[in-house]
Chain A
Amino acid sequence: AQSVTQLDSQVPVFEEAPVELRCNYSSSVSVYLFWYVQYPNQGLQLLLKYLSGSTLVESINGFEAEFNKSQTSFHLRKPSVHISDTAEYFCAVRTRYGKLTFGQGTILTVHP
């Protein structure tokens, strides 16, 4: 069975500072990895995903994540955050039929 661990439950950071949200997974088979974002009072939205190929994946709003097979990690990074990035971020691993196993979530709070 797959599992996902997000190492930080809350990450406070100042605007324009870099941020890294950590995610580790365990799996005995090939994995698909995802980051979802949940803004207040909204559902989850796909931020980015790793399926195969290049280990560095990027989103349209400046986030990136790198798949590291040897460390079984898929950390999310952004070099300069904005107030609007304040949200909860979920790392997830996918099993067959799109069934996702989510991590516990990391609340990113960006302060002015």
Chain B
Amino acid sequence: DAMVIQNPRYQVTQFGKPVTLSCSQTLNHNVMYWYQQKSSQAPKLLFHYYDKDFNNEADTPDNFQSRRPNTSFCFLDIRSPGLGDAAMYLCATSRGGEGTNEKLFFGSGTQLSVL
């Protein structure tokens, strides 16, 4: 059974048109992450939520926002997508804390295309 679910699998948007990607989890994990993975590059952390506490990475563009209305759902909003924002967006969860046995659970990703 899928534990971290991302919808849609493929998303096409127009240059400058706002787009929202969604992620849900059935694990009841405290932490949810959004990663951006461009072609042939490493996944790059954009931000994460620890419960309702939002943590933005220093180099994440202002164009990227996130919402977490409850434990299960987290959204990635791109206010004005540019061609350079075309990428795979990965959602991940973890239980939280600094336990040494913690691992991340990833969704299958949403491939975003910008026309």
Contacts and interface: CB of A to CB of B under 8 A. Distances in A.
B52 to A, nearest CB: 15
A112 interface: no
B45 A99 contact: yes
Nearest to A52: B100
Interface residues of A, number: 25
A67 interface: no
Contacts of A42: 108-109
Contact of A97 (B31, B44, B90): B31
Given A97-B50, A98-B31, A32 B106 contact: no
Given A41-B108, A46-B104, A104-B42, A96 B48 contact: no
Q: Which of A43, A96, A101 has the most CB of B within 10 A?
A: A43
Interface in A8-63: 9, 32, 34, 36, 41-46, 49, 51-52
A38 B103 CA distance: 15
Interface residues of B, number: 28
Interface string B10-50: 00000000000000000000010100000011111100101
A43 B100 contact: no
A74 interface: no
A44 B106 contact: yes
A104 B108 CA distance: 19
B40 A105 contact: yes
A22 to B, nearest CB: 15
B89 to A, nearest CB: 11
Contacts of B97: 97
Interface string A48-84: 0101100000000000000000000000000000000
Interface of A: 4, 9, 32, 34, 36, 41-46, 49, 51-52, 90, 96-105
Interface of B: 4, 6, 31, 33, 40-45, 48, 50, 55, 90, 92, 94, 96-98, 100-104, 106-109
Of all A-B residue pairs in the complex, the 3 with the closest CB atoms, nearest first, are A43-B106, A102-B42, A98-B94
